[in-house]
Amino acid sequence: MKNKIFFVSILFIVVTSGKAFSTAQMADHLIYKGETLPIFTNPLESFFSDKNPRPSNTFHFLCTACWRGYIATWKIEDNKLYLIKIVEGTCSSDAPEIDVSKIFKGKKLPVEAYWYSGILRIPRGKMLSYVHMGYGSVYEKELILTIENGKLVKEETIDNIKKNIPSEEKRTNEELEKLGEWELKNLNNK
Protein backbone atom coordinates (compact mmCIF):
# COMPACT_ATOMS: atom_id res chain seq x y z
CA MET A 1 0.00 0.00 0.00
CA LYS A 2 2.89 2.39 0.80
CA ASN A 3 4.27 1.83 -2.70
CA LYS A 4 0.91 2.70 -4.28
CA ILE A 5 0.62 5.92 -2.26
CA PHE A 6 4.22 6.86 -3.11
CA PHE A 7 3.67 6.12 -6.81
CA VAL A 8 0.40 8.06 -6.97
CA SER A 9 2.06 11.01 -5.19
CA ILE A 10 4.96 11.05 -7.66
CA LEU A 11 2.55 10.68 -10.58
CA PHE A 12 0.50 13.63 -9.30
CA ILE A 13 3.62 15.81 -9.12
CA VAL A 14 4.62 14.84 -12.64
CA VAL A 15 1.12 15.38 -14.06
CA THR A 16 0.68 18.77 -12.44
CA SER A 17 4.13 20.13 -13.28
CA GLY A 18 4.38 22.27 -16.41
CA LYS A 19 7.35 20.41 -17.89
CA ALA A 20 8.18 16.78 -17.29
CA PHE A 21 10.41 14.13 -18.71
CA SER A 22 8.27 12.26 -21.17
CA THR A 23 8.38 10.10 -24.25
CA ALA A 24 6.28 9.85 -27.38
CA GLN A 25 4.74 6.38 -27.55
CA MET A 26 5.05 3.65 -30.16
CA ALA A 27 1.71 3.21 -31.85
CA ASP A 28 -0.38 0.09 -32.28
CA HIS A 29 -1.04 -0.77 -35.94
CA LEU A 30 -4.25 -1.14 -37.91
CA ILE A 31 -4.71 -2.90 -41.23
CA TYR A 32 -7.50 -0.98 -42.96
CA LYS A 33 -8.44 -0.88 -46.63
CA GLY A 34 -5.19 -2.61 -47.59
CA GLU A 35 -2.91 -0.24 -45.66
CA THR A 36 -1.05 -0.78 -42.40
CA LEU A 37 -1.47 2.41 -40.39
CA PRO A 38 -0.31 3.63 -36.98
CA ILE A 39 -3.16 4.30 -34.55
CA PHE A 40 -2.96 6.79 -31.72
CA THR A 41 -5.36 4.70 -29.65
CA ASN A 42 -4.85 1.51 -27.63
CA PRO A 43 -8.09 -0.53 -27.84
CA LEU A 44 -6.72 -3.39 -25.72
CA GLU A 45 -6.43 -1.10 -22.69
CA SER A 46 -10.23 -0.82 -22.43
CA PHE A 47 -10.47 -4.62 -22.11
CA PHE A 48 -8.71 -4.57 -18.74
CA SER A 49 -11.04 -4.07 -15.78
CA ASP A 50 -12.01 -5.68 -12.49
CA LYS A 51 -13.74 -8.37 -14.57
CA ASN A 52 -10.73 -8.80 -16.89
CA PRO A 53 -7.64 -7.83 -14.90
CA ARG A 54 -4.42 -6.98 -16.69
CA PRO A 55 -2.47 -10.26 -16.62
CA SER A 56 0.53 -10.17 -14.32
CA ASN A 57 3.93 -11.11 -15.78
CA THR A 58 2.71 -10.66 -19.37
CA PHE A 59 3.45 -7.01 -20.16
CA HIS A 60 6.78 -5.65 -18.99
CA PHE A 61 8.10 -2.10 -19.01
CA LEU A 62 11.05 -2.61 -21.36
CA CYS A 63 11.17 0.71 -23.20
CA THR A 64 10.15 4.27 -22.32
CA ALA A 65 8.46 4.55 -25.73
CA CYS A 66 6.05 1.73 -24.80
CA TRP A 67 4.73 2.17 -21.25
CA ARG A 68 1.93 -0.33 -21.83
CA GLY A 69 4.43 -3.14 -22.48
CA TYR A 70 3.08 -4.35 -25.83
CA ILE A 71 2.31 -3.33 -29.39
CA ALA A 72 -0.87 -4.71 -30.91
CA THR A 73 -1.83 -5.14 -34.54
CA TRP A 74 -5.49 -4.79 -35.44
CA LYS A 75 -7.53 -5.35 -38.57
CA ILE A 76 -10.93 -4.17 -39.70
CA GLU A 77 -12.65 -6.83 -41.75
CA ASP A 78 -16.35 -6.90 -42.61
CA ASN A 79 -16.68 -3.74 -40.49
CA LYS A 80 -15.47 -5.58 -37.36
CA LEU A 81 -12.31 -4.83 -35.38
CA TYR A 82 -10.00 -7.78 -34.70
CA LEU A 83 -6.81 -8.16 -32.70
CA ILE A 84 -4.51 -10.15 -34.98
CA LYS A 85 -1.11 -9.93 -33.27
CA ILE A 86 0.50 -8.69 -30.08
CA VAL A 87 4.23 -8.38 -29.39
CA GLU A 88 6.31 -7.30 -26.42
CA GLY A 89 6.92 -3.56 -26.22
CA THR A 90 10.68 -3.86 -26.46
CA CYS A 91 11.16 -1.00 -28.95
CA SER A 92 12.81 -3.57 -31.22
CA SER A 93 11.61 -4.49 -34.69
CA ASP A 94 11.94 -8.20 -33.85
CA ALA A 95 10.03 -8.20 -30.54
CA PRO A 96 8.73 -11.62 -29.46
CA GLU A 97 5.04 -12.33 -29.88
CA ILE A 98 2.83 -12.59 -26.78
CA ASP A 99 0.57 -15.63 -26.44
CA VAL A 100 -2.96 -14.19 -26.68
CA SER A 101 -4.35 -16.97 -24.44
CA LYS A 102 -2.61 -15.21 -21.51
CA ILE A 103 -5.03 -12.32 -22.04
CA PHE A 104 -8.10 -14.05 -23.48
CA LYS A 105 -8.46 -17.43 -21.79
CA GLY A 106 -8.85 -20.25 -24.30
CA LYS A 107 -8.83 -17.97 -27.37
CA LYS A 108 -6.58 -17.88 -30.42
CA LEU A 109 -5.93 -15.09 -32.88
CA PRO A 110 -7.77 -13.33 -34.37
CA VAL A 111 -9.85 -12.07 -31.44
CA GLU A 112 -12.92 -9.96 -32.20
CA ALA A 113 -12.70 -6.72 -30.18
CA TYR A 114 -16.33 -6.85 -28.96
CA TRP A 115 -15.35 -4.95 -25.78
CA TYR A 116 -14.10 -1.84 -27.58
CA SER A 117 -16.23 1.25 -28.06
CA GLY A 118 -14.47 4.47 -28.89
CA ILE A 119 -12.41 6.01 -31.65
CA LEU A 120 -9.33 4.91 -33.52
CA ARG A 121 -7.25 8.01 -34.25
CA ILE A 122 -5.04 7.58 -37.32
CA PRO A 123 -2.49 10.29 -38.19
CA ARG A 124 -2.22 11.18 -41.90
CA GLY A 125 0.13 13.47 -43.84
CA LYS A 126 3.00 15.54 -42.52
CA MET A 127 3.54 16.20 -38.83
CA LEU A 128 2.60 19.81 -38.02
CA SER A 129 3.68 19.83 -34.39
CA TYR A 130 5.73 17.31 -32.41
CA VAL A 131 4.97 16.58 -28.77
CA HIS A 132 7.41 14.34 -26.94
CA MET A 133 4.61 12.76 -24.90
CA GLY A 134 2.11 10.00 -25.57
CA TYR A 135 0.23 10.60 -28.81
CA GLY A 136 0.20 14.39 -28.56
CA SER A 137 1.81 15.16 -31.93
CA VAL A 138 -0.45 16.78 -34.53
CA TYR A 139 -0.54 15.79 -38.21
CA GLU A 140 -2.08 17.47 -41.25
CA LYS A 141 -5.09 15.20 -41.10
CA GLU A 142 -6.53 12.54 -38.84
CA LEU A 143 -8.69 9.66 -39.92
CA ILE A 144 -11.16 8.98 -37.11
CA LEU A 145 -12.89 5.60 -37.05
CA THR A 146 -15.72 5.27 -34.55
CA ILE A 147 -16.12 1.77 -33.13
CA GLU A 148 -19.12 0.55 -31.10
CA ASN A 149 -18.87 -2.87 -29.46
CA GLY A 150 -16.15 -3.86 -31.93
CA LYS A 151 -18.05 -2.68 -35.04
CA LEU A 152 -17.04 0.18 -37.32
CA VAL A 153 -19.95 2.64 -37.39
CA LYS A 154 -18.42 5.87 -38.71
CA GLU A 155 -15.41 7.16 -40.63
CA GLU A 156 -14.42 10.83 -40.82
CA THR A 157 -11.37 12.89 -41.68
CA ILE A 158 -10.30 15.90 -39.65
CA ASP A 159 -8.22 18.58 -41.37
CA ASN A 160 -5.83 19.98 -38.76
CA ILE A 161 -4.32 22.49 -41.21
CA LYS A 162 -7.46 24.59 -40.82
CA LYS A 163 -7.52 24.30 -37.02
CA ASN A 164 -5.86 26.38 -34.36
CA ILE A 165 -3.40 23.88 -32.84
CA PRO A 166 -3.10 24.03 -29.02
CA SER A 167 0.34 24.78 -27.59
CA GLU A 168 2.87 22.01 -27.05
CA GLU A 169 2.60 22.56 -23.29
CA LYS A 170 -1.20 22.14 -23.36
CA ARG A 171 -0.98 18.95 -25.45
CA THR A 172 1.81 17.62 -23.21
CA ASN A 173 -0.33 18.22 -20.12
CA GLU A 174 -3.30 16.48 -21.78
CA GLU A 175 -1.12 13.44 -22.52
CA LEU A 176 0.24 13.46 -18.94
CA GLU A 177 -3.34 13.48 -17.61
CA LYS A 178 -4.16 10.47 -19.81
CA LEU A 179 -1.06 8.70 -18.49
CA GLY A 180 -2.08 9.49 -14.92
CA GLU A 181 -5.57 8.06 -15.49
CA TRP A 182 -4.07 4.95 -17.12
CA GLU A 183 -1.63 4.43 -14.20
CA LEU A 184 -4.35 4.86 -11.59
CA LYS A 185 -6.61 2.39 -13.42
CA ASN A 186 -3.80 -0.15 -13.60
CA LEU A 187 -2.87 0.32 -9.94
CA ASN A 188 -6.52 -0.31 -9.00
CA ASN A 189 -6.66 -3.47 -11.16
CA LYS A 190 -3.65 -5.13 -9.49
With cut-offs at 50, 70 and 90, classify the pLDDT of residue 25: confident
Does 11 have pLDDT greater than 60?
A: no
| 36 assigned to some structural domain | yes
Count of domains in the chain? 1
Task: Output 56 or 19, whichever has higher pLDDT.
Answer: 56
CA 13: distance to chain centroid? 23
pLDDT (0 to 100) of residue 60: 81
| 91 assigned to some structural domain | yes
Please give the average per-residue pLDDT across 166-188, as a whole number: 63
CB contact at 8 A, 69 and 60: yes
DSSP-derived letter for residue 78 is: T
| 73 assigned to some structural domain | yes
Alpha-carbon gap, residue 173 to 62, rounded angstroms: 24
| 131 assigned to some structural domain | yes
pTM more than 0.85 = no
| 185 assigned to some structural domain | no
pLDDT tens-digit readout, 62-107: 788 888 889 999 999 999 999 999 999 887 888 899 999 989 998 9
| 1 assigned to some structural domain | no
- Domain assignment of residue 118, given as a range: 19-173
| 164 assigned to some structural domain | yes
Alpha-carbon gap, residue 124 to 140, rounded angstroms: 6
What percentage of the chain reaches a pLDDT higher than 90? 47
DSSP-derived letter for residue 3 is: H
| 101 assigned to some structural domain | yes
CA–CA–CA angle 111, 108, 86 (5° rounding): 70
**Secondary structure in 3-state letters for 98-113:** CCHHHCCCCCCCCEEC
pLDDT (0 to 100) of residue 181: 67
CA–CA–CA angle 164, 166, 169 (5° rounding): 160
